Structure 1
Amino acid sequence: MAEDLCKNSGVFGSKIILHKEFVMEKLPTAFCHASTIIKLKSGGLLCCWFGGTHEGEPDVAIYAAKKACGDGLEKNQGVWRKPIKLADGAEANWNPVLFYGKDNTLMLFYKHGQKIAQWQTFIMTSADDGETWSEPQELVAGDSSGGRGPVRNKPIRLTSGRIVAGASTEHGIWQAFADLSDDDGLNWHKSNNIGIKHLSYQAGEKTAHSNIAVSQQSFYGRGVIQPSLWQSADGSVHMLLRSSEGFVHRSNSMDEGKTWCSAYPLSLPNNNSGLDLVRTNNGRLFLVCNPVASNWGQRSPLSLFLSVDDGQSWQKLLDLETEAAEFSYPAIIADGEEIYLTYTWKRQNIACVHFSSNDLD
């Protein structure tokens, strides 16, 4: 399915033309979830996700599909290739993340392990834009504390060249941190932990009863996880965080990600589901999330927000999905003023949406 949709933006009285399509013609597994997307240096797009019989089961693997569009990308030409399996193992695999090194080496990070609190981060690399891949290796050898490197959302590269990855752990009280690399991803060092002050949690307490199709272990714990990052024009770095407390939270760093303030709530509702944002060249921030103020609340609508003041305020542009089903875990990137985003579509497919931010001018 591919279609063009014209939607009122709700901002500046403008309309946005959305091109929407599915990444897969046929889903190779019982479900799919947690996509990541990247614009390839050679042209086209690459999307990865995880899928299997059920989230958290040992057969859950990392899959990928490529759209080789070439020069016709802006006209939405090209076809998504049939998905291929990239990474498998004796335990569940989760949350793939794509990112380029300085030498145009393509990196794929993902989590491996049955228990989220103890999963490990693995990395694979490709020198030919995802046609062939290295064997997976652990990102930080011997780590078993919940996973290093990016936990779900893409890292960012600061103007200094440092890579900052949004990371988090889920040990009762959920906490985030930034994982930093100054040698293009070879070695990593952690920032301080980022949490909500005075938050309490009783060990073994189930915080929600929900029909969301996640691993049951996810319903235990409380706090902030899965940061999405941007750098401001003045060099400061910021993150928005998924939270269990009904609202998106934020933290800021004035020293390139080394230290961060405690997480504090914004007025944006959050249902304890993934969010992602991107900063365009002109400083606009585009955020995709489920604006539902309920812990483990419904994962619809899925909405697009805009900030023109570096994240101080947010305005809803439009709803991408409003049906009573699961539309979740968005990933969003910018290529100049062109915006690409993917998200879980009812756990039956990955939807890919493309639009131009110039429509708002």
Structure 2
Amino acid sequence: MAMYRLSGAIKMLVLTAFVTCGCGGKPVEEQEETTNSTQKEIVSVPGNLVLNPGENNPRNSEGDFIELEDGKILFVYSHYYGESSSDHATAYLAGRFSEDKGKTWTKEDVEILPNEGGMNVMSVSLLRLQNGDIAMFYLRKNNTDDCIPYMRVSKDEAKTWSDPIACITDDEGYFVLNNDRVVQLEDGTLMLAVAKHAGPGMEWRGRADLYAYSSTDNGQTWERSEMVPNPKEIVLQEPGLVELADGSILMVIRTDAGVQCYSYSKDKGKTWSEVEESTLVSPVSPATIERIPGTGDLLAVWNNNLSDDPDIAKLRTPLNSAISKDEGKTWTNIKTLEDNPDGWYCYIAMDFVGDEVLLGYCAGNRPGGTGLSVTKITKLGADWFYKE
């Protein structure tokens, strides 16, 4: 498969303090069991909540935040049950609440949505709509060629939810929508980006076809874009969206190119530019990029990892942040959130609460087989991300 050549400018982004790693999306039980030893002190930001696996709960992952009208914050995530932590194992959507802006959290789960899929429901996005309602998006996974994002709406602050609405009705297949991925544009359009990996009669493949789906009626109906052009036929997966200051849309894409890749839409997501490399060095692992309300800058959280050693270059550690003041073209203020060489950091949810940032992400131990099984929530001041 084609690979981009990394420029010197891209390599400048790599933190020289790390000899670390990131990787490519296999279920936990398929990940390698090698361990990297290190003598330096391991960086790990404090955790306000750590959701560890337990009895009949082999994995907790891929969630999102919503701030409620009463000031509480709700975190909804994929709660696996049974014996397996595979992406295709059984899971329902569970919630935890915070009454102090994310400093502390309730100790017991509340079931938000039971498992209505043949395999599971997982990978949550929560969004406060412009009309005041709360929208919850999730994957309903029935089998390996039937996985579709659905939307439910709450008009009573997440106490009850509407009947589900399928976001894809014009096609069948296995579509991936990551957690914390749905956006509402300034003009009210809802938009999500998906990666199609399989369909009826198709063999499942890692190199997905990417599309955006948009809705101008608060999610009642959805229209598909043209496919994102991929002339170099690299592996494209797990896209996310950011509305830029000029009204165009940036799609951020997990790839095998050694960097995150970009595609742009100037017509509200109907068509997309050819995929191009960004300066965010990355393994095959997703990045989350959102706009900081207080400054208007973009904040990225991702695995800033580059190595000539292929066993290191695929690992999802360290976990870093960076700031862009030019709409994602260049990135500065690179910070380290986590750098345990045995860690596995990915599927980041980001929420801005006042002048603070809440992050929720997978933070398990790869050699221990819990890479995607542990979710960590941490709270940091927005100014922390600007410090040199």
The TM-score by the shorter chain falls in which range? Answer: 0.7 to 0.9
Paired position in structure 2 for 1:312 = 329
1:96 positional shift = 1.6
Equivalences for residues 1-361 of structure 1 within 5 A: 20-24=47-51, 27=54, 29-50=57-78, 51-52=80-81, 53-67=84-98, 69=99, 72-73=100-101, 76-85=102-111, 86-89=113-116, 90-141=118-169, 143-147=171-175, 150-171=177-198, 172=205, 173-199=207-233, 223-281=235-293, 282-293=295-306, 297-323=314-340, 324-346=342-364, 347-359=372-384, 360=386
**3-state SS, counterpart of residue 251 of structure 1:** strand
- Larger relative contact order (Cα-Cα within 8 Å, sequence gap ≥ 6): 2
Residue identity matched to 1:270: S
**3-state SS, counterpart of residue 119 of structure 1:** strand
2: CA distance, partners of 1:104 / 1:23 = 30
1: CA distance, partners of 2:46 / 2:66 = 17
For residues 304-351 of structure 1, give each alpha carbon's deviation from its aligned partner in whole angstroms, at most 9, with x where no partner exists: 111111111012531111111212111112245432211012134321
Unpaired stretches in structure 2, ≥5 consecutive residues = 1-14, 16-44, 199-204, 365-371
2: CA distance, partners of 1:143 / 1:129 = 32
Count of paired positions: 318
8 Å contact from structure 2 (residues 179, 349) kept in 1:
no
8 Å contact from structure 1 (residues 278, 334) kept in 2:
no
TM-score (norm 2): 0.74
1:158 positional shift = 1.6
Name the structure with the higher strand share: 1
Unpaired stretches in structure 1, ≥5 consecutive residues = 1-9, 11-17, 200-221
1: CA distance, partners of 2:144 / 2:132 = 31
TM-score (norm 1): 0.79
1: CA distance, partners of 2:89 / 2:96 = 22
For residues 14-34 of structure 1, give each alpha carbon's deviation from its aligned partner in whole angstroms, at most 9, with x where no partner exists: xxxx66311548756111222
8 Å contact from structure 1 (residues 305, 316) kept in 2:
yes
For residues 243-289 of structure 1, give each alpha carbon's deviation from its aligned partner in whole angstroms, at most 9, with x where no partner exists: 12221000111122221101111232222122211112322111111
8 Å contact from structure 1 (residues 151, 168) kept in 2:
no
2: CA distance, partners of 1:23 / 1:198 = 40
